[in-house]
Amino acid sequence: MSQVEKRAGLLRRTSSSKKPLKEKVVLMYDEIFKEDPAKNNPRFWDELFLMKVNLEYLESKLESVDGEEVQRIQDNINSLFHHCVQALGEEHQIKVVNALQTLCALFRGVHQKNKSASGFDIINMLMGFDKAEQRMKDLMERLDSLLCGDGSESLKSLCLKLLLCLVTVTDNISQNTILEYVMINSIFEAILQILSDVSSRGQHGYDAVVLLALLVNYRKYESVNPYIVKLSIVDDEPTLDGMGMVVHQALTEYNRQYKDKEEENQGGFFSTLTSMVGSMFIADADEKLSVQTNEAILLALYEAVHLNRNFITVLAQVHVYFSLLWFYLCVCCTVMNNPELPLDPNLQTSNLLITFLKYASIVMQDTKDEHRLNSARLCLIILTCIAEDQYADAFLHDDNMNFRVNLHRMPMRHRKKAVDKNIPSRPLVCAVLDLMVEFIVTHMMKDFPMDLYLRCVQIIHKLLCYQKKCRIRLHYTWRELWSALINLLKFLLSNETTLLAKHNIFHLALLVVNLFNMFITYGDTFLPTSNSYDELYYEIVRMHQVFDNLYCMVLRVSTNTGQWKEAASKVTHALVNVRAIINHFNPKIESYAAVNHISQLSEEQVLEVVRSNYDTLTLKLQDGLDQFERYSEQPKEAAFFKELVRSISLNVRKNVSLNTLSQDVLLKEFSTIS
């Protein structure tokens, strides 16, 4: 109680008297916790909402209510809630603002108090069971009309904050029973309206998108969530565009921040020197380039891509960023009269997918910390969804849509940092493949991210399936992919024992070998040149030792009895063709070398041998190489998403409470209005 008082009196610091002077509003709060406040003062509620809210006091007061007291004051709290909702309909904006904030405090305070209590108790305490439905209906309707109306932008912002506050008030969103009423009284349309309008999107788009992402995750797997249903059928172009734009801007902002930080870190000789010296003292102070990742926005992107098939087209919208700029220019200087627009010619066009790929390349660099690991996983899941979608694939492979995508590459000892400027402009799928290759070569470490590797290899497989089906001959340097995959196998082999303790490496090995089988058996349908098929054989033969070792290993495991027996034997079968190729060509190459007395054959010579000896090689056609399991969130990913949503909730709650409810701005605004 003393703590409460300390917080309460602003004036207390100056006066040392025992009876502190309390704010009027605090007194009024106190009254609520004693008896029916309206009994003595019929205008009590009117006056209350004219007072500046003291959130902290109200919250802590609610927290400190004891068990028996609850019964006593429940009616008063219900009444407070009721009047808050009513005040939302007031003309007087100050009242609306105060009511919104009071509601916020109510939700938070009551939850804080009853952390362990069931959702029903909380509802009962806030609104009273019998009236809960009506109260929440009123509340949602009021919020809806505030959000959609022509009112002040700050008010709208506050509404969204209240909703965010309500949604994140529990750690596990699915345990937040009040949301059941938000499901019944949908504010989905209001959210969409905010997103479809350019100006409101600019101001509230981020909150709206996060709110939507969270609402979609309410009891996702247990019941029918109307937000999921509604989101999946949205087909209004501007709205989807708007959603894409919000995500795009958030990701762009992240990429920019990262870049700034990166440049800061490598700024000149002196700073490198100081940082070297510095790192000598702070041994492992992990001065990493860590910009707070933004899982909430990524989750929104995922839900949009996963649930709404129309959203895929938004990924391909070329001009997202650019158009915004163009639009403003349009408004400023009537464009059509002035064809010479003062546009920056160096402005690179971009789209959501490119930004996303860049973001993914940053996030994937370092997967050690939990948030980044989650982000990286989510990125790969999104890419999986994209790779499965036909329209997205068509866009990725569109030969006319060429882009330069500057992926971030981890600086590594054994390779130079790629010169960014020389990246050619290519279809976007090349960037996706680059990203996958980049991931494969950079994450072979003790703490092996098996899950990410599986996803990565599956994405490649899905893209290959599309290319095979549609006979798209992508001009990609497949060699890089092949050698990355072979190196991965090599890594698995050399770390067999440590890895086997934690993972089923045979599954991954099988997927990798089957990628090779795709190339071997169906190469004719999607390889760009006949030479590339020769090169594939060359690469396999050159690295035959890896395949030999792999075969020995899987043979050994599959002959022993053990938990991996079956998995390993699958790999042995999958290796049939690769081994056939090695066994066929190796002797030929050796004899060629012997006949021509050459110790070291050049690549051209080996290719020559390969070319002239195809006809005597027979391969076995394997089943289901071009089949893949479609992505489904349930049941495999459910746990991941639950955890993810929990962490997002915590994060959002923290951010909402920290800075956004400061009402100075609001008051300033409304004092001039009213």
What 3-state DSSP class applies to 597? coil
- State which of positions 456-485 bind other proteins (CB under 8 A): 462, 465-466, 469-471, 473, 475
CA angle, residues 484, 486, 491, in degrees to nearest 5? 95
**Among the residue ranges 177-185, 254-262, 290-298, 517-525, the one whose residues contact other proteins (CB under 8 A):** 517-525
Q: Over 494-505, what HEC string results?
A: HCHHHHHCCCCH
Q: How far is the CB of 475 from other proteins (least distance, A)?
A: 8
Please, what is the minimum distance in Å from the beta carbon of residue 571 to other proteins?
18
Least gap, CB of 425 to other proteins (angstroms): 5
The 10 Å Cβ neighbour count of residue 432 is: 22
Binds other proteins (CB under 8 A): choice among 74, 253, 322, 504: 322
* Phi, psi torsion values for 402, nearest 5 degrees: -105, 135
Amino acid at 569: S
Stretch in the footprint of other proteins (CB under 8 A) among 65-73, 123-131, 185-193, 310-318: 310-318
Report the half-sphere exposure of 428 (CA within 13 A, side-chain side): 23
In the complex, what is the shortest distance from the CB of residue 620 to other proteins, in angstroms, rounded to a whole number? 5
Closest approach, Cβ 154 to other proteins, in A, equals 17
* Smallest distance, other proteins to C-beta of residue 320, A: 9
The token pair that represents 442 in the structure block: 């950079």
CB atoms near residue 601 (< 10 Å): 16
Which one of residues 327, 494, 603, 671 is an interface residue with other proteins (CB under 8 A)? 327
Stretch 432-451: interaction string toward other proteins, x if CB under 8 A: --------------------
How far is residue 487's CA from residue 606's CA, in Å, rounded to a whole number?
A: 21
Residue 673 beta carbon to other proteins: minimum distance, rounded to whole angstroms: 20
User: For residues 336 and 658, which CB has a smaller minimum distance to other proteins in the complex?
Assistant: 336
Q: Cβ of 46: how many Cβ atoms within 10 Å?
A: 15
CA quadruple 339, 342, 348, 353: dihedral, nearest 10: -70
Q: Binding residue for other proteins (CB under 8 A) from 40, 199, 497, 634?
A: 199
* Of the candidate residues 4, 117, 183, 198, the single one contacting other proteins (CB under 8 A): 198
Q: How many residues of this chain interact with other proteins, rule: CB under 8 A?
A: 83
Q: Is the dihedral of CA 651, 63, 107, 41 positive or negative?
A: negative
In the complex with other proteins, the residue whose CB is nearer, 173 or 527, is: 527
Judged by CB under 8 A, the chain residues 337 through 356 that form the site for other proteins are 339-341, 343, 345-346, 348-349
Q: HSE on the CB side for 336, CA within 13 Å?
A: 0
Q: Cβ 465 to other proteins, closest distance in Å?
A: 6
Q: Which amino acid is at 413?
A: R
Which residue in the set 30, 86, 138, 326 belongs to the binding site for other proteins (CB under 8 A)?
Answer: 326
Each residue 519-538 as x (binds other proteins by CB under 8 A) or -, in order, gives -xxxxxx-x-xx--xx----
Two tokens at 427? 């279809």
Token duo for residue 635: 């049941």
- Residue 16 or 627 having the CB closest to other proteins: 627
Q: Which residues pair with 426 in a beta bridge?
A: 403
Nearer to other proteins by C-beta: 310 or 549? 310
- In whole angstroms, the minimum distance from the beta carbon of 582 to other proteins comes to 13
Choosing from 223, 279, 425, 674, the residue that interacts with other proteins (CB under 8 A) is 425
Residue among 620, 636, 654, 668 that touches other proteins (CB under 8 A) = 620
CB of 79 to other proteins, least distance (A): 41
Stretch near other proteins under the rule CB under 8 A, chosen from 195-203, 354-362, 494-502, 650-658:
195-203
Contacts of 180 (CB under 8 A, 6+ apart): none
Position 44 contacts other proteins (CB under 8 A): no
What's the longest Cα–Cα distance across the chain?
112
Pairwise CA distance, residues 370 & 124, whole Å: 37
Q: Which of residues 361-420 bind other proteins (CB under 8 A)?
A: 388-391, 393-394, 398-403
Locate tokens 């939302």: which residue?
88
Q: Which residues of 505-533 are buried (b: 16+ CB within 10 A; e: fewer)?
A: bbbbbbbbbbbbbbbbbbbebbbeeeebb
Name the one residue in this structure whose structure tokens are 């940092």: 417
Q: Choose the binding region for other proteins from 251-259, 493-501, 591-599, 618-626 (rule: CB under 8 A).
A: 618-626
Where does residue 618 rank: exposed (0-12), middle (13-18), buried (19+ CB within 10 A)? exposed
Minimal distance, residue 129 CB to other proteins, in Å = 44
Shortest reach from residue 223's CB to other proteins, in Å: 27
Of residues 6, 37, 151, the one with CA closest to residue 89: 151
**With respect to other proteins, which residue has the nearer C-beta, 44 or 322?**
322
Name residues contacting other proteins, limited to 249-308 (CB under 8 A): none
Single residue of 410, 628, 660, 669 touching other proteins by CB under 8 A: 628
Name residues contacting other proteins, limited to 535-594 (CB under 8 A).
581
Q: In degrees to the nearest 10, what's the CA dihedral of 562, 563, 564, 566?
A: 90
Q: How far apart are CA 289 and CA 254, in angstroms?
A: 12
Smallest separation, CB 226 to other proteins (Å): 21
